[in-house]
């Protein structure tokens, strides 16, 4: 395997990479990734001529989730075979300086391109159709049992027959507890989620039964004192996908929990959507997060940094440095 100097890990603390110099911490990118000139209109045409679609990966050095994608997902034969058979894969560095030509014809540096597409998590993957449209977007790490159905959806050109969010609700199969876990900090009905002046921001958790990621969130994430303290700064509501419970949404619309989840295009559980004091969505988590990044996401919104720092990555880096300066140990994957 070769090392792609400009790419790698994500969701954390690396200092933004400079130019195209090789990083001593860069992870191996699979050899079947393309050495692209990053002219995406041309890459899309080339992929289409071979009956494939384009898969664009955004990464950065120092990211355990990128490492999981490369060392867990892209080491499983079924996933690799599907990816190689159906996709042309291109890797980008969210802090890089290589020039990228996007489908709008504009040329941007990698880091500016990532900001243009509002890439907040790494890995982020875009799956493009033959016209350059985004068929599916994964904001963060999807474990193998969730990642493989995404490949099936895009490779099967199912977007014309079924909405991606609806597809993911039934396509992912994995044993789990089969229950919705209760927490003392969850709001109780009636669910009028309109915000009041001076009130707390709102965190809305969407889950399903038989969701191993939901089980882990309650078993590990919600049990950590740091996370409990951060959650106390929010009003927290929890709903199951397809739930018929009446809800007044933050913007004042009467609906049901299930209909609201559809309108928000919730495609992954657990997902957490954050709303500010005015009822506007400001951030969301719709990927697998270990407790360190769950805490960082909560702090990003609760501290108000979401309004002043548009890059979640930079916030995480700064937060980790402050923790280290206080003598605290930063554990990214524990």
Does residue 35 register a pLDDT over 80?
yes
171 contacts: CB under 8 Å, gap ≥ 6: 149, 152, 153
Determine what percent of the chain is predicted with pLDDT higher than 70: 92
Instruction: Kindly state the average pLDDT of the residues 281-298.
Output: 93
How would residue 20 be classed by pLDDT, with cut points 50, 70 and 90? very low
CA 11 centroid distance within chain: 9
Q: How far apart, in whole angstroms, are the C-alpha atoms of residue 127 and residue 47?
A: 12
Q: How far apart, in whole angstroms, are the C-alpha atoms of residue 259 and residue 257?
A: 6
Classify 136 in phi/psi space as left (phi over 0), alpha (psi -120 to 50) or beta.
beta
How would residue 11 be classed by pLDDT, with cut points 50, 70 and 90? very low
Average pLDDT of the chain, as a whole number: 90
The domain limits of the chain are 2-170, 191-325
Does residue 15 register a pLDDT over 70?
no
Instruction: Kindly state the average pLDDT of the residues 237-244.
Output: 93
Instruction: Kindly state the average pLDDT of the residues 278-299.
Output: 93
Whether 2-170 and 191-325 share one fold: the answer is yes
Across 46-78, b (16+ Cβ under 10 Å) vs e yields ebbeeebbbbbbbbbbbbbbbbbbbeebbeeee
Model confidence pLDDT, tens digit, residues 72-127: 899 899 999 999 999 999 999 999 999 999 999 999 999 999 999 999 999 999 99
Higher pLDDT, 27 or 226: 226
Model confidence pLDDT, tens digit, residues 176-215: 888 999 999 999 999 999 998 889 999 999 998 888 889 9
What is the 3-state composition of the chain as percent helix, strand, coil, each rounded to the nearest 5? 35, 20, 45
Classify 157 in phi/psi space as left (phi over 0), alpha (psi -120 to 50) or beta.
left
Domain 2-170: CATH class, spelled out:
alpha beta
Higher pLDDT, 86 or 22: 86
Q: How would you classify the pairing of strands 53-59 and 87-93?
A: parallel
- Residue 97, judged by CB atoms within 10 A of its CB (0-12, 13-18, 19+), counts as middle
Task: Please give the pLDDT value at position 281.
Answer: 97
Architecture of domain 191-325: 3-Layer(aba) Sandwich (3.40)
Instruction: Kindly state the average pLDDT of the residues 57-78.
Output: 92
Beta strands (DSSP E) in 224-288 are 235-240, 246-248, 254-256, 271-275, 281-285
Does residue 240 register a pLDDT over 90?
yes
Instruction: Kindly state the average pLDDT of the residues 45-49.
Output: 97
Does residue 47 register a pLDDT over 50?
yes
Task: Please give the pLDDT value at position 184.
Answer: 97
Q: How far apart, in whole angstroms, are the C-alpha atoms of residue 12 and residue 331?
A: 11
Q: Using the 8-state DSSP alphabet, how is residue 201 labeled?
A: -
pTM of the entire predicted model: 0.82
């Amino acid at each position: 395997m070769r090392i792609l100097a400009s790419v790698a890990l994500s969701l954390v603390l690396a200092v933004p990479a400079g130019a195209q110099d090789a990083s001593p911490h860069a992870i191996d990118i699979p050899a079947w990734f393309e050495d692209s000139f990053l002219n995406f209109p041309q890459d899309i045409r080339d992929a289409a001529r071979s009956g494939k679609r384009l898969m664009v990966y955004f990464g950065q050095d120092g990211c355990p989730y990128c490492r999981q994608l490369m060392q867990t997902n892209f080491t499983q034969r079924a996933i690799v075979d599907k990816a190689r058979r159906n996709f042309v894969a291109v890797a980008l560095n969210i802090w890089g300086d290589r020039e990228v030509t996007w489908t709008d014809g504009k040329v941007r540096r990698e880091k500016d391109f990532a900001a243009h597409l509002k890439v907040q998590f790494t890995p982020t993957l875009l799956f493009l159709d033959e016209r350059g449209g985004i068929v599916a977007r994964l904001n963060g790490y999807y474990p193998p049992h969730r990642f493989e159905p995404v490949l099936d959806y895009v490779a099967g050109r199912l977007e014309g027959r079924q909405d991606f969010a609806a597809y993911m609700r039934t396509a992912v199969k994995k044993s789990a507890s089969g229950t919705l876990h209760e927490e003392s900090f969850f709001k109780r009905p009636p669910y009028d989620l309109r915000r009041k002046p001076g009130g707390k921001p709102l965190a809305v958790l969407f889950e399903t039964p038989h969701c191993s990621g939901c089980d882990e969130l309650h078993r590990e994430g919600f049990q950590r004192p740091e996370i409990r303290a951060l959650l106390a700064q929010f009003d927290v509501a929890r709903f199951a996908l397809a739930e018929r419970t009446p809800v007044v949404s933050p913007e004042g619309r009467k609906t049901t929990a299930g209909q609201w989840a559809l309108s928000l295009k919730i495609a992954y559980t657990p997902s957490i959507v954050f709303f500010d004091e005015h009822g506007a969505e400001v951030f969301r988590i719709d990927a697998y997060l270990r407790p360190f990044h769950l805490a960082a996401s909560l702090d990003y919104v609760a501290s108000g940094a979401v309004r002043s720092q548009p890059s979640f990555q930079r916030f995480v880096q700064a937060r980790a440095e402050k923790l280290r300066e206080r003598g605290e140990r930063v554990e990214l994957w524990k």
